[in-house]
Amino acid sequence: MDAMTILSTKGLTKSYGGIKANTDIDFALPRGKTMALIGPNGAGKSTFVGMLCGRIPATSGDVFFEGENINALPAHQRISLGIAYTFQITSVFAGLSLHENVALAARRRLGADVAAVDAKVADVLARVGLAERTDQNAGDLSYGHQRLLEIAMGLAQDPRLFILDEPTQGLADSEVADFITLINTLAGETTILLIEHNMDVVMQTATHITVLNAGEVLAAGTPDEIRANTAVQAAYLGTSDA
């Protein structure tokens, strides 16, 4: 694997009863960059990301992280390697405070060092704009704020790769603007894979874009190249949900 690539796939395929959700996907994620994965509903984005994270077993093909084949590793072991991710559906602990939610994530890397954990919690909650809510129960947050809390939980692990699945869903316009700023401040700190329908977010954050359609890679390139690609325009950018 190229030293400039942190994660890649070769021929990655997922079939359900003979129906292919993803077909022979070759994919490369540049280290330290923000890549967006886009495509119409039903394009196979969530299935593909599930195979990257280890939540969905591949039917065939390979996933490589830092040059090593991780096909056999379950999701929790991939997290230990430095892969963090958020889901389309929030997965916070509703009965715990924001501080406790983020502390649980931080302890994966920092262990029982209370001072270090508390400092990390304060830092990431401030970065996502939730510092003043640290003692509030996560279940009392709006859906959009729960999305931000999930991002804080991911950041608390200091991931080498951070996969964000529809992170701006449910956010107000001002929160989307703050999210764009946050992602751009993370440039170089970590590698980000952003699965996102909001094309303003994509175009303002991503240096590279991969487009899936009908479970296959339709195109890959810079934002300008994707914007000018007629096949992408026909399949996705011209649709109402873009």
**CA-based nearest residue to 148, from 180, 179, 103:** 179
Confidence at residue 242, expressed as pLDDT on a 0 to 100 scale: 35
Confidence at residue 88, expressed as pLDDT on a 0 to 100 scale: 63
Confidence at residue 37, expressed as pLDDT on a 0 to 100 scale: 97
Q: Any idea of the CA torsion for 9, 81, 42, 239, to the nearest 10 degrees?
A: -90
Confidence at residue 18, expressed as pLDDT on a 0 to 100 scale: 85
Confidence at residue 238, expressed as pLDDT on a 0 to 100 scale: 62
- Distance, in Å, from the CA atom of 222 to the CA atom of 219, rounded to the nearest integer, reads 10
pTM: 0.91
Domains of the chain: 34-43+76-237 (3.40.50.300)
Say which residues have a Cβ less than 8 Å from residue 149's Cβ, sequence separation at least 6. 90, 92, 98, 101, 102, 128, 130, 138, 141
- Distance, in Å, from the CA atom of 49 to the CA atom of 28, rounded to the nearest integer, reads 13
Residue with tokens 């109402």: 240
pLDDT (tens, 9 = 90+) of the chain, 242 residues, equals: 567 999 999 999 999 988 999 999 999 999 999 999 999 989 999 999 999 999 999 999 999 999 999 999 999 999 999 999 987 667 899 999 999 999 999 998 899 999 999 999 999 999 999 999 999 999 999 988 999 999 999 999 999 999 999 999 889 999 999 999 999 999 889 999 999 999 999 999 999 999 999 999 999 999 999 999 999 988 886 643 43
Question: Is 185 buried (19+), middle (13-18) or exposed (0-12) by CB count in 10 A?
Answer: exposed
What own/partner pairs with CB < 8 Å and gap ≥ 24 does 53-59 have? 53/78, 53/83, 53/85, 53/163, 54/78, 56/14, 58/12, 58/13, 58/14, 59/13, 59/14, 59/15
Confidence at residue 91, expressed as pLDDT on a 0 to 100 scale: 82
Residues forming a β-bridge with 29:
7
